[in-house]
Amino acid sequence: MLVYSVEQDKEIEVEKIEKTDEEWRGILTEDQYRITTQKGTETPGTCLFEATHGEGIFRCVRCGTDLFKSGTKYNPGENR
């Protein structure tokens, strides 16, 4: 399957990761599982990365795919 790599700035081919719910529950925390599997959201103010402002790439906790560069991270405080 093709996914976009922020690091390489292009689409790359990756293998689809297939695991059972039981396997995912054994790998992820309860919150990670709920958010990534059951379309949940984090409780406001509890995100570990909310105060993270360094340069880097945010990646999916399930597959490691690049999600976005830290410079493009949404900051809700900017719109207040």
pLDDT, tens only, 5-51: 888 888 889 888 999 999 999 999 998 999 888 888 877 777 776 66
Average pLDDT over residues 50-77: 76
Instruction: Count CA atoms closer than 13 A to 42's CA, side-chain side.
Output: 9
Q: How far is CA 69 from the centre of its chain?
A: 11
d(Cα 77, Cα 44) in Å, to the nearest integer? 12
The domains of the chain, with CATH numbers, are 2-79 (2.170.150.20)
Residue 2 — φ and ψ, nearest 5°? Answer: -95, 135
63 — pLDDT class (breaks 50, 70, 90): confident
